[in-house]
């Protein structure tokens, strides 16, 4: 159970901080299990797929914009099954001042 919860190392000495640390680890484990049961995939697969989403910033004569990569089918499925809104394709667009 300790390896699943990743409780070690704990550098806290005060009881309230140790309790808070254990509670945060438990909440993280709970979120991982909810994600796994909702998608039917392991946490490593979910994390690997979501980490493949990148944000590129492009600058040209007209200005600068930030755009994420196109989502693959597995990524879309993860967002859908977890009821998370997909991030917008264009995050920022700033025209060059004239």
Q: Residue range 37-53: average pLDDT? A: 96
Is the CB of residue 46 less than 8 Å from the CB of residue 82? no
Number of domain units in the chain: 2
pLDDT, position 1: 43
83 has a pLDDT exceeding 80? yes
The mean pLDDT of the chain is 89
- Residue 97 DSSP one-character state: P
Q: Domain containing 71: what range?
A: 54-98
Q: What is the predicted pLDDT for the residue at 6? A: 61
Bridge partners, residue 95, by sequence:
63
Same-domain check for residues 34 and 66? no
Q: Is residue 49, in this structure, part of any structural domain at all?
A: no
Do 71 and 95 reside in the same domain of the chain? yes
Its pTM stands at: 0.75
Is 1 within a domain? yes
């Amino acid at each position: 159970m300790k390896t699943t919860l990743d409780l070690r190392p704990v550098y806290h000495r005060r009881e309230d901080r140790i309790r808070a640390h254990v509670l945060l680890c438990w909440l993280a484990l709970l979120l991982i299990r909810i994600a796994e049961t909702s998608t039917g995939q392991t946490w490593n697969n979910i994390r690997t797929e979501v980490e493949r989403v990148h944000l590129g910033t492009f600058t040209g004569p007209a200005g600068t914009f930030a755009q994420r990569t196109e989502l693959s089918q597995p990524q879309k499925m993860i967002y859908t099954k977890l009821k998370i809104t997909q991030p917008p394709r264009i995050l920022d667009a700033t025209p060059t001042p004239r």
